[in-house]
């Protein structure tokens, strides 16, 4: 069964209640199946509102039951696929690593390819949010998920991309070349297992989150560092996805260095390091995207801050210093109340 976009929007919000209703239907003590079905459909009209009510009213109870059963089957299929990719996709990782290993001298040791891949990844991850900004005036339901006041136009996106590309060429590229010339990386023939890659990637995220928090906190507390290193990034008070790397050259170099140090401290497999850089880029984009969707990572895992958490930092110029997680801000008392995303959809 193919899910529509509106069904996908409500997937995470209704999953638990859906399973509760499925269980209650099977355990219904009534002798009449039609009575159980009728009660279940009435409750489903509330859970799946506004898109389930049409099936329940126009097609009757049996169509509603078919819709619910198909939704459950699709949910189970997707969750099974997710777990199989995480814990049973070792062959897939090996197939990908075989390709990278065969071309390791070109793909992993060329600073030009590495920097181009990093910039392209950031740009590709940001494009969906750029399209949302461009077409938000024509799609009414997007406004209740937008948490920034200003809608960024295409010309501002283009100027931001140009600035970042220039800084990559004059700053990030020389640092990457220096780092790759000094660092000696071992390239094993075997790819890491899915669980091993997942564990190393999370370890890198935890270390990077810690290093970034203390550096970010220090920069905000020392006026000279703030005005000479970090001030450019805060010119974007209303964040948008591409602005995640709209910073000074010195700050971009610092972020690159922290990422390299995190991977070195973990001592992870080169494939796990690639995954970490991809996740790192995506998390930065999502933190600055300006949208608070039901499927955002911080809604699925409350330990993450997400876009509302980081937008509060940009608007108040203090607090919420951690990039990923929220525990360091809670420990040091720098956590800001999230008021932006209280409006509209909470």
Question: Residue length, the chain?
Answer: 346
Whole-model pTM: value is 0.69
Radius of gyration over every alpha carbon of the chain, rounded to an integer in angstroms: 23
Q: Of the ranges 76-90, 96-110, 257-271, which is most confident?
A: 257-271
| pLDDT given at position 65 | 53
- Asked if the model's pLDDT at residue 196 lies above 80, the reply is yes
Contact present, 329 and 322 (Cβ < 8 Å)? yes
Category of 238 on φ-ψ map: left (φ > 0), alpha (ψ -120 to 50) or beta: beta
Contact present, 290 and 238 (Cβ < 8 Å)? yes
Q: How far apart are CA 248 and CA 170, in angstroms?
A: 11
- Asked if the model's pLDDT at residue 113 lies above 50, the reply is yes
Q: Model confidence at 190, in pLDDT bands (50, 70, 90)?
A: confident
Q: Which residue has the higher pLDDT, 278 or 76?
A: 278
Runs of H (alpha helix) within 140-248:
154-167, 173-182, 194-221, 223-225
């Amino acid at each position: 069964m193919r899910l529509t976009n509106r069904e996908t929007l409500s997937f995470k919000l209704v999953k638990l209640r859906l399973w509760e209703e499925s269980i209650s239907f099977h355990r219904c003590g009534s002798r009449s199946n039609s009575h159980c079905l009728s009660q279940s459909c009435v409750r489903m009209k509330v859970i799946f509102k506004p898109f389930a009510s049409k099936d329940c009213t126009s097609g009757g109870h049996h169509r509603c039951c078919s819709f619910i059963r198909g939704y459950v089957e699709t949910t189970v299929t997707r969750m099974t696929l997710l777990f199989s990719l995480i814990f049973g996709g070792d062959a897939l990782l090996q197939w990908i690593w075989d390709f990278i290993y065969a071309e390791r001298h070109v793909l992993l040791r060329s600073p030009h390819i590495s920097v181009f891949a990093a910039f392209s990844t950031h740009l590709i991850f940001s494009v969906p949010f750029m399209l949302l900004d461009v077409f938000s005036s024509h799609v009414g339901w997007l406004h209740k998920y937008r948490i920034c006041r200003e809608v960024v136009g295409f010309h501002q996106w283009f100027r931001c991309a140009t600035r970042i590309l220039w800084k990559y060429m004059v700053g990030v590229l020389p640092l990457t070349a220096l780092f790759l010339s000094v660092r000696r990386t071992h390239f094993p023939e075997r790819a890491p297992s899915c669980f091993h890659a997942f564990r190393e990637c999370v370890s890198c995220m935890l270390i990077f989150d810690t290093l970034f928090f203390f550096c970010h906190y220090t920069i905000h507390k020392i006026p000279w560092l703030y005005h000479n290193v970090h001030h450019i990034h805060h010119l974007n008070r209303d964040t948008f996805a591409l602005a995640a790397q709209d910073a000074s050259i010195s700050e971009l170099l610092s972020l690159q260095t922290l990422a390299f140090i995190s991977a070195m401290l973990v001592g992870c497999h080169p494939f796990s390091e690639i995954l970490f850089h991809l996740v790192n880029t995506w998390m930065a984009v999502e933190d600055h995207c300006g949208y608070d969707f039901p499927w955002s990572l911080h809604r699925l895992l409350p330990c993450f801050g997400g876009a509302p958490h980081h937008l509060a930092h940009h608007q108040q110029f203090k607090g919420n210093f951690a990039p990923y997680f929220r525990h360091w801000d809670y420990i040091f008392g720098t956590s800001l109340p999230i008021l932006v995303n209280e409006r509209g959809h909470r």
